[in-house]
Structure 1
Amino acid sequence: MRYDKGHKDETRRHILEVASAKFRESGIAAVGLAGIMSEAGLTNGAFYTHFASKEELVREVLTDALTRREERHKANLENGVAVETVIRDYLSTRHRDHAGTGCPTAALVAEIARHPKATRDAFTDKVSDLVGLMAKQIRQGTPDERRRKAITIYSTMVGALQLSRAVNDRQLSDEILENAVDAALTIANER
Protein backbone atom coordinates (compact mmCIF):
# COMPACT_ATOMS: atom_id res chain seq x y z
CA MET A 1 0.00 0.00 0.00
CA ARG A 2 1.34 3.41 -0.95
CA TYR A 3 0.84 6.41 1.28
CA ASP A 4 0.72 10.08 0.40
CA LYS A 5 3.87 12.12 0.68
CA GLY A 6 4.33 13.23 4.28
CA HIS A 7 2.34 10.31 5.72
CA LYS A 8 5.37 8.93 7.58
CA ASP A 9 6.12 12.31 9.14
CA GLU A 10 2.47 12.77 10.14
CA THR A 11 2.39 9.30 11.68
CA ARG A 12 5.61 9.96 13.61
CA ARG A 13 4.19 13.27 14.88
CA HIS A 14 1.00 11.49 15.96
CA ILE A 15 2.97 8.85 17.88
CA LEU A 16 4.98 11.63 19.58
CA GLU A 17 1.81 13.47 20.61
CA VAL A 18 0.15 10.34 22.00
CA ALA A 19 3.31 9.28 23.85
CA SER A 20 3.85 12.77 25.22
CA ALA A 21 0.38 12.93 26.76
CA LYS A 22 0.55 9.38 28.11
CA PHE A 23 4.03 9.86 29.61
CA ARG A 24 2.98 13.11 31.31
CA GLU A 25 -0.27 11.62 32.60
CA SER A 26 1.03 8.26 33.84
CA GLY A 27 4.82 8.36 33.83
CA ILE A 28 7.36 6.90 31.44
CA ALA A 29 7.83 3.58 33.24
CA ALA A 30 4.09 2.96 33.52
CA VAL A 31 3.42 3.43 29.81
CA GLY A 32 4.18 0.61 27.41
CA LEU A 33 4.71 0.81 23.69
CA ALA A 34 1.63 -1.34 23.07
CA GLY A 35 -0.58 1.20 24.85
CA ILE A 36 0.93 4.10 22.93
CA MET A 37 0.53 2.40 19.59
CA SER A 38 -2.99 1.22 20.36
CA GLU A 39 -4.08 4.73 21.31
CA ALA A 40 -2.38 6.04 18.16
CA GLY A 41 -4.43 3.54 16.13
CA LEU A 42 -1.36 1.71 14.90
CA THR A 43 0.17 -1.75 15.25
CA ASN A 44 3.07 -2.44 17.59
CA GLY A 45 5.26 -3.32 14.63
CA ALA A 46 4.73 0.13 13.12
CA PHE A 47 6.56 1.65 16.08
CA TYR A 48 9.97 0.49 14.81
CA THR A 49 9.42 2.20 11.48
CA HIS A 50 9.66 5.47 13.38
CA PHE A 51 11.82 4.86 16.47
CA ALA A 52 14.64 2.45 17.30
CA SER A 53 13.59 2.07 20.94
CA LYS A 54 11.36 3.39 23.69
CA GLU A 55 14.34 5.41 24.95
CA GLU A 56 14.63 7.16 21.60
CA LEU A 57 10.91 7.95 21.81
CA VAL A 58 11.38 9.35 25.33
CA ARG A 59 14.21 11.63 24.10
CA GLU A 60 12.13 12.78 21.14
CA VAL A 61 9.09 13.45 23.35
CA LEU A 62 11.17 15.48 25.81
CA THR A 63 12.90 17.46 23.08
CA ASP A 64 9.64 18.14 21.27
CA ALA A 65 7.63 19.10 24.36
CA LEU A 66 10.37 21.30 25.80
CA THR A 67 10.97 22.95 22.41
CA ARG A 68 7.28 23.87 22.36
CA ARG A 69 7.58 25.38 25.86
CA GLU A 70 10.68 27.23 24.70
CA GLU A 71 8.75 28.65 21.73
CA ARG A 72 6.03 29.90 24.12
CA HIS A 73 8.70 31.57 26.27
CA LYS A 74 10.19 33.23 23.19
CA ALA A 75 6.74 34.49 22.18
CA ASN A 76 6.26 35.80 25.72
CA LEU A 77 9.52 37.74 25.43
CA GLU A 78 8.63 39.13 22.00
CA ASN A 79 5.19 40.17 23.24
CA GLY A 80 6.43 41.71 26.50
CA VAL A 81 4.65 39.19 28.74
CA ALA A 82 5.79 39.75 32.31
CA VAL A 83 7.50 37.01 34.30
CA GLU A 84 4.65 37.35 36.81
CA THR A 85 2.19 36.15 34.16
CA VAL A 86 4.40 33.15 33.37
CA ILE A 87 4.68 32.25 37.06
CA ARG A 88 0.94 32.56 37.70
CA ASP A 89 0.07 30.53 34.61
CA TYR A 90 2.52 27.76 35.49
CA LEU A 91 1.38 27.56 39.11
CA SER A 92 -2.31 27.55 38.25
CA THR A 93 -4.89 24.95 39.21
CA ARG A 94 -5.54 24.44 35.49
CA HIS A 95 -1.90 23.42 34.95
CA ARG A 96 -1.95 21.25 38.06
CA ASP A 97 -5.08 19.45 36.93
CA HIS A 98 -3.99 18.75 33.34
CA ALA A 99 -0.61 17.04 33.52
CA GLY A 100 -1.07 15.42 30.11
CA THR A 101 -0.84 18.78 28.36
CA GLY A 102 1.36 20.54 30.91
CA CYS A 103 5.05 20.97 31.53
CA PRO A 104 7.02 17.78 30.85
CA THR A 105 9.62 18.80 33.43
CA ALA A 106 7.15 18.77 36.32
CA ALA A 107 5.52 15.58 35.07
CA LEU A 108 8.68 13.59 34.36
CA VAL A 109 11.73 15.04 36.12
CA ALA A 110 12.05 12.31 38.76
CA GLU A 111 12.04 9.63 36.08
CA ILE A 112 14.41 11.48 33.75
CA ALA A 113 17.06 11.42 36.47
CA ARG A 114 17.19 7.62 36.03
CA HIS A 115 17.47 7.59 32.24
CA PRO A 116 20.64 7.21 30.15
CA LYS A 117 23.04 10.08 29.61
CA ALA A 118 21.80 10.87 26.09
CA THR A 119 18.26 11.45 27.38
CA ARG A 120 19.51 13.49 30.33
CA ASP A 121 21.76 15.52 28.00
CA ALA A 122 18.79 16.39 25.76
CA PHE A 123 16.74 17.34 28.83
CA THR A 124 19.59 19.40 30.31
CA ASP A 125 20.05 21.40 27.11
CA LYS A 126 16.36 22.28 26.94
CA VAL A 127 16.09 23.20 30.63
CA SER A 128 19.14 25.43 30.28
CA ASP A 129 17.49 27.17 27.34
CA LEU A 130 14.26 27.67 29.30
CA VAL A 131 16.16 29.11 32.27
CA GLY A 132 17.97 31.50 29.93
CA LEU A 133 14.69 32.73 28.48
CA MET A 134 13.18 33.20 31.94
CA ALA A 135 16.29 35.16 33.01
CA LYS A 136 15.65 37.56 30.13
CA GLN A 137 12.14 38.22 31.50
CA ILE A 138 13.48 39.24 34.91
CA ARG A 139 13.97 42.99 34.94
CA GLN A 140 16.34 43.58 37.84
CA GLY A 141 19.93 42.53 38.40
CA THR A 142 23.03 41.68 36.44
CA PRO A 143 22.82 38.85 33.90
CA ASP A 144 24.34 36.44 36.46
CA GLU A 145 21.88 37.56 39.15
CA ARG A 146 18.94 37.19 36.77
CA ARG A 147 20.11 33.68 35.79
CA ARG A 148 20.39 32.66 39.47
CA LYS A 149 16.91 34.01 40.09
CA ALA A 150 15.56 32.20 37.03
CA ILE A 151 17.05 28.88 38.21
CA THR A 152 15.54 29.36 41.66
CA ILE A 153 12.15 30.40 40.27
CA TYR A 154 12.02 27.51 37.78
CA SER A 155 13.02 25.04 40.49
CA THR A 156 10.37 26.45 42.82
CA MET A 157 7.71 26.27 40.14
CA VAL A 158 8.51 22.68 39.11
CA GLY A 159 8.75 21.44 42.70
CA ALA A 160 5.58 23.20 43.81
CA LEU A 161 3.63 21.87 40.83
CA GLN A 162 4.82 18.33 41.56
CA LEU A 163 3.95 18.62 45.24
CA SER A 164 0.54 20.16 44.52
CA ARG A 165 -0.24 17.18 42.28
CA ALA A 166 0.97 14.63 44.82
CA VAL A 167 -1.05 15.65 47.86
CA ASN A 168 -4.64 14.47 48.10
CA ASP A 169 -5.91 17.46 50.09
CA ARG A 170 -7.27 20.02 47.60
CA GLN A 171 -6.95 22.91 50.04
CA LEU A 172 -3.32 22.07 50.80
CA SER A 173 -2.66 21.69 47.08
CA ASP A 174 -4.09 25.15 46.41
CA GLU A 175 -2.04 26.61 49.27
CA ILE A 176 1.14 25.09 47.84
CA LEU A 177 0.47 26.78 44.50
CA GLU A 178 -0.48 30.14 46.04
CA ASN A 179 2.56 30.24 48.32
CA ALA A 180 4.88 29.20 45.52
CA VAL A 181 3.54 32.07 43.39
CA ASP A 182 4.30 34.49 46.24
CA ALA A 183 7.81 33.05 46.73
CA ALA A 184 8.64 33.11 43.02
CA LEU A 185 7.41 36.69 42.63
CA THR A 186 9.47 37.74 45.65
CA ILE A 187 12.58 36.15 44.11
CA ALA A 188 11.88 37.92 40.83
CA ASN A 189 11.38 41.19 42.72
CA GLU A 190 7.90 41.46 41.25
CA ARG A 191 6.36 42.14 44.68
Structure 2
Amino acid sequence: MATPLAGLVELRSTAFTDGRGSFLNAFRLEEMHAWWGHRAVHQINVSRTERVGAIRGLHGQQGPTPEAKLVRCLRGRVFDVAVDVRPGSSTRGQWRSLELTPEAGNAWLIPEGVLHGFQVLEAGSELLYVHSAPYRPGDQVGVVWNDPELAIAWPLPALDLSQRDQQLPLLAAL
Protein backbone atom coordinates (compact mmCIF):
# COMPACT_ATOMS: atom_id res chain seq x y z
CA MET A 1 0.00 0.00 0.00
CA ALA A 2 1.59 3.29 -1.14
CA THR A 3 1.87 6.26 1.23
CA PRO A 4 2.03 10.03 0.59
CA LEU A 5 5.86 9.81 0.77
CA ALA A 6 7.01 8.73 -2.70
CA GLY A 7 8.41 5.19 -2.62
CA LEU A 8 7.43 4.50 1.02
CA VAL A 9 5.20 1.45 0.91
CA GLU A 10 3.53 -0.72 3.53
CA LEU A 11 3.69 -4.36 2.52
CA ARG A 12 1.40 -6.99 4.01
CA SER A 13 1.91 -10.73 4.07
CA THR A 14 -0.31 -13.49 5.35
CA ALA A 15 1.24 -16.22 7.44
CA PHE A 16 0.37 -19.87 6.94
CA THR A 17 -0.72 -21.13 10.33
CA ASP A 18 -1.52 -24.60 11.59
CA GLY A 19 -1.24 -26.57 14.83
CA ARG A 20 2.56 -26.50 14.67
CA GLY A 21 2.84 -22.71 14.44
CA SER A 22 3.22 -20.42 11.46
CA PHE A 23 5.27 -19.70 8.35
CA LEU A 24 5.65 -16.21 6.87
CA ASN A 25 7.38 -15.41 3.63
CA ALA A 26 9.36 -12.36 4.84
CA PHE A 27 10.89 -11.42 1.48
CA ARG A 28 9.97 -12.92 -1.85
CA LEU A 29 11.40 -10.96 -4.78
CA GLU A 30 8.84 -12.28 -7.27
CA GLU A 31 6.01 -10.82 -5.18
CA MET A 32 7.81 -7.64 -4.15
CA HIS A 33 9.43 -6.83 -7.47
CA ALA A 34 6.97 -4.01 -8.16
CA TRP A 35 8.22 -2.29 -4.99
CA TRP A 36 11.80 -3.54 -4.60
CA GLY A 37 12.56 -3.19 -8.31
CA HIS A 38 16.05 -4.03 -9.49
CA ARG A 39 17.76 -3.24 -6.21
CA ALA A 40 20.28 -5.78 -4.99
CA VAL A 41 20.15 -7.36 -1.52
CA HIS A 42 23.45 -6.55 0.19
CA GLN A 43 22.72 -7.25 3.85
CA ILE A 44 20.09 -8.81 6.04
CA ASN A 45 20.25 -7.79 9.69
CA VAL A 46 18.26 -8.51 12.83
CA SER A 47 18.07 -6.12 15.78
CA ARG A 48 16.68 -6.86 19.21
CA THR A 49 15.73 -4.14 21.66
CA GLU A 50 14.81 -5.11 25.19
CA ARG A 51 13.35 -2.06 26.88
CA VAL A 52 9.87 -0.65 26.25
CA GLY A 53 10.21 3.02 25.25
CA ALA A 54 13.67 2.63 23.72
CA ILE A 55 14.16 4.60 20.51
CA ARG A 56 16.58 3.74 17.72
CA GLY A 57 17.11 6.20 14.89
CA LEU A 58 16.49 8.22 12.85
CA HIS A 59 19.07 6.76 10.42
CA GLY A 60 19.74 6.31 6.74
CA GLN A 61 22.51 6.03 4.20
CA GLN A 62 23.04 8.51 1.36
CA GLY A 63 25.96 9.70 -0.74
CA PRO A 64 27.53 7.24 -3.20
CA THR A 65 25.82 4.23 -1.58
CA PRO A 66 22.24 5.23 -0.75
CA GLU A 67 20.14 2.41 0.59
CA ALA A 68 16.56 1.29 0.61
CA LYS A 69 15.39 -0.94 3.47
CA LEU A 70 12.65 -3.42 3.99
CA VAL A 71 11.86 -3.50 7.73
CA ARG A 72 9.70 -6.19 9.33
CA CYS A 73 8.96 -6.98 12.99
CA LEU A 74 9.74 -10.60 13.88
CA ARG A 75 8.89 -10.42 17.58
CA GLY A 76 7.15 -7.88 19.77
CA ARG A 77 5.67 -4.62 18.62
CA VAL A 78 7.22 -1.32 17.47
CA PHE A 79 6.12 2.17 16.49
CA ASP A 80 8.06 2.53 13.25
CA VAL A 81 8.81 5.89 11.63
CA ALA A 82 9.98 6.97 8.17
CA VAL A 83 11.14 10.58 7.57
CA ASP A 84 11.67 12.07 4.11
CA VAL A 85 14.99 13.99 3.97
CA ARG A 86 15.41 13.90 0.18
CA PRO A 87 16.63 17.24 -1.19
CA GLY A 88 14.03 18.75 -3.48
CA SER A 89 11.29 16.35 -2.37
CA SER A 90 7.85 17.93 -2.03
CA THR A 91 7.43 15.87 1.19
CA ARG A 92 10.87 16.67 2.71
CA GLY A 93 10.51 16.94 6.49
CA GLN A 94 7.32 14.89 6.56
CA TRP A 95 7.06 11.60 8.42
CA ARG A 96 4.80 8.59 8.51
CA SER A 97 4.42 5.98 11.20
CA LEU A 98 3.19 2.44 11.31
CA GLU A 99 2.90 -0.15 14.05
CA LEU A 100 4.82 -3.23 12.96
CA THR A 101 3.93 -6.60 14.50
CA PRO A 102 4.39 -10.23 13.50
CA GLU A 103 0.64 -10.75 13.82
CA ALA A 104 -0.10 -8.03 11.26
CA GLY A 105 2.50 -9.52 8.90
CA ASN A 106 3.33 -6.00 7.73
CA ALA A 107 6.58 -4.34 6.70
CA TRP A 108 7.84 -1.03 5.35
CA LEU A 109 9.76 -0.58 2.15
CA ILE A 110 11.73 2.56 2.94
CA PRO A 111 13.25 4.11 -0.18
CA GLU A 112 16.61 5.81 -0.57
CA GLY A 113 16.69 9.23 1.10
CA VAL A 114 14.11 8.37 3.74
CA LEU A 115 15.31 7.91 7.33
CA HIS A 116 14.13 5.12 9.61
CA GLY A 117 13.63 4.91 13.35
CA PHE A 118 11.44 3.08 15.83
CA GLN A 119 10.25 2.97 19.42
CA VAL A 120 9.78 -0.32 21.22
CA LEU A 121 6.22 -0.96 22.44
CA GLU A 122 6.83 -4.51 23.69
CA ALA A 123 9.94 -5.78 25.49
CA GLY A 124 12.36 -7.86 23.44
CA SER A 125 11.15 -6.61 20.06
CA GLU A 126 13.12 -7.88 17.05
CA LEU A 127 13.30 -6.31 13.60
CA LEU A 128 14.49 -7.83 10.34
CA TYR A 129 16.17 -5.47 7.86
CA VAL A 130 16.85 -6.18 4.20
CA HIS A 131 19.33 -3.58 2.84
CA SER A 132 19.83 -2.66 -0.80
CA ALA A 133 23.39 -1.35 -0.32
CA PRO A 134 26.43 -2.37 1.72
CA TYR A 135 26.99 -0.60 5.03
CA ARG A 136 29.31 2.38 4.60
CA PRO A 137 29.89 4.32 7.84
CA GLY A 138 30.92 7.46 5.95
CA ASP A 139 27.59 7.55 4.09
CA GLN A 140 25.44 7.35 7.24
CA VAL A 141 23.09 10.27 7.92
CA GLY A 142 20.57 10.91 10.62
CA VAL A 143 18.32 13.37 12.39
CA VAL A 144 17.74 13.57 16.13
CA TRP A 145 14.59 11.79 17.27
CA ASN A 146 13.05 14.86 18.94
CA ASP A 147 13.64 17.45 16.21
CA PRO A 148 10.96 20.11 16.82
CA GLU A 149 10.57 20.70 13.07
CA LEU A 150 9.49 17.07 12.64
CA ALA A 151 7.41 16.92 15.84
CA ILE A 152 7.13 13.13 15.71
CA ALA A 153 4.35 11.94 18.02
CA TRP A 154 6.27 9.16 19.79
CA PRO A 155 3.72 7.16 21.81
CA LEU A 156 5.88 6.72 24.94
CA PRO A 157 8.52 8.70 26.82
CA ALA A 158 11.90 8.20 25.14
CA LEU A 159 14.32 5.79 26.83
CA ASP A 160 17.65 4.11 26.08
CA LEU A 161 18.90 6.34 23.28
CA SER A 162 22.44 5.66 22.13
CA GLN A 163 25.08 8.41 22.40
CA ARG A 164 25.11 8.57 18.62
CA ASP A 165 21.34 9.02 18.37
CA GLN A 166 21.33 11.73 21.05
CA GLN A 167 23.95 13.71 19.10
CA LEU A 168 22.38 13.51 15.63
CA PRO A 169 21.73 16.90 13.99
CA LEU A 170 18.45 18.65 13.35
CA LEU A 171 16.85 18.28 9.93
CA ALA A 172 17.78 21.89 9.10
CA ALA A 173 21.48 20.94 9.36
CA LEU A 174 21.30 18.25 6.66
* Same fold at TM > 0.5: no
Structure-1-length-normalised TM-score: 0.24
**TM-score when normalising by structure 2:** 0.25
Higher strand share: 2
- Whose helix fraction is larger, Structure 1's or Structure 2's? 1
Q: Pick the structure with greater CA Rg.
A: 1
Which of the pair has the greater relative contact order for Cα pairs under 8 Å at 6+ separation? 2
